[in-house]
Structure 1
């Protein structure tokens, strides 16, 4: 049973978050610690849109990815552009909390569908401290934290791989699923995969778009799937826009897919899913 959709009127401005101090924060993370504990309000009203990651073999939703939106309809990019650099730590926390709060009202509590939350590695100064607000939110709304999936991407070369390894190790210990986003684009490549070995990797849409008509893309994606399988990692294909792309991905062996061909993101509710691939089963 899915609860009634939450409207924009139900989504409050994220409250300032307080995180208990940690005795030994990693070098370079002291400012992050102060940023999380700061009493300054986050003057951005946010909500979340949800887009499903679908198992195309069964038609079941594996996870819903939470994507930040402004209450005034602003996109993720527009919202992020308005975040002061000094508030990035609090913003990261607020996004996690808002996603969990909404999921607590929208997700079927009897299902095992995951909630996928994007996080910024450099906004986590100490993983066990920075997860406290998320766990508290899960307790408030009765959301099983074992259903949390955290995915990250790097827009610039990773400066501290060891720090990210510590984050992923702490998250695995708590039973969270971990994922690298946008693999195949920018710096999220095979070297990062070898260093971090997450549970999941999300293949960037640049590799997926038009894969049905591109032998080169099919070869690259097939190779990445084999590499991932050898490491015990599951692949997710994102940015899928056509039934032809879905059929090609199924033939390659990818089951978990995300994109407009299946569902567009829906703000503060769970969108309906179309399964064009299943018409020919």
Structure 2
């Protein structure tokens, strides 16, 4: 935590004060667990991070869980996801970064809503600098300025930050002007068949150039074929994620096959 921004004493005061959203959150209608999918570092031939993907306790789909989340229980769900993801990653002895999706619309005041995350990380001995917070896929952002405020607060605490689905919806250049995260994850619709689609190639190469200029790392998400992988390798993108490397594994850390790193 950056003590120059928020001290532990300040955090306790904020936590005691709370906010309406925190106090009135509805209980969750379902128990949750997680699957994990690796993000590989092709340059160093290793797992760079694992993304925690919500599931039911018996491995039920993300949709079966998310379909039960509404405005009344969104805050409690977001908080519970963080705690369970950290606890499970620690239990599985994850030795890479942990990427957690968060719901900006469930964060009322960043300095208050982060307290259970800090407590979970301390309780399970999981370093803050090994946690990436990425915007959750598909959530419509009502207030971009609020999202920027959240990102800046998380960065001050020592977390890494990522914009998911970059190039789709709100996750575009306008957001990047307001905040420069550590990582952007390219929207998989930009990637599909990129090895043969010259329009996609031009668009993606433009984004890569901007990211390089701003010092932002890029993850190519949704890689399904060797040819898609090879396009990004040829353009100096080493961080990738997708079924080509490994599918999500329920309560397990998948190990990519060695041949995914071969030419």
TM-score w.r.t. length of structure 2: 0.89
Partner of 2:129: 146
Instruction: Point out 4+ residue stretches in structure 1 off by more than 4 angstroms.
Output: none
**Any gaps of 5 or more consecutive residues in structure 2?**
1-13
Q: Does 1:209 align with 2:182?
A: no
Q: Does residue 1:190 correspond to 2:208, yes or no?
A: no
SS at match of 2:121: helix
Task: Write the distance in 2 (CA, Å) between the matches of 1:48 and 1:120.
Answer: 16
How do 1:3-152 and structure 2 match up within 5 A?
20-22=15-17, 30=20, 32-36=21-25, 41-108=27-94, 111=95, 113-152=96-135
Count of equivalent residues: 250
Question: Structure 1 CA distance, aligned partners of 2:174 and 2:137?
Answer: 13
RMSD: 1.8
1:210-257 deviations in whole A, cap 9, x for unaligned? Answer: 111111111111110110111111111100001111111110121100
Answer yes or no: is the 8 Å Cα contact 1:45–1:70 preserved in 2. yes
Look up the match of 1:163: 146
Q: Quickly say closer, same or farther: Cα 1:225–1:105, change in 2 above 3 A.
A: same
Tell me the CA shift for residue 157 of structure 1: 5.4
Q: Is the 8 A contact 2:165 2:186 kept in 1?
A: yes
The one of 222, 241, 251 equivalent to 2:234 is: 251
Q: Is the 8 A contact 2:33 2:59 kept in 1?
A: no
- Cα distance in 2 for partners of 1:156, 1:20 equals 26
Q: What is the distance in 2 between the residues matched to 1:159 and 1:279?
A: 43
Structure 1: state its 5+ residue gaps.
1-18
Aligned counterpart, 1:270:
253
Distance 1:80 1:105 in 2: 24
Instruction: Please state if 1:227 is matched with 2:210.
Output: yes
What is the alpha-carbon distance in structure 1 between the residues aligned to residue 140 and residue 81 of structure 2?
A: 24
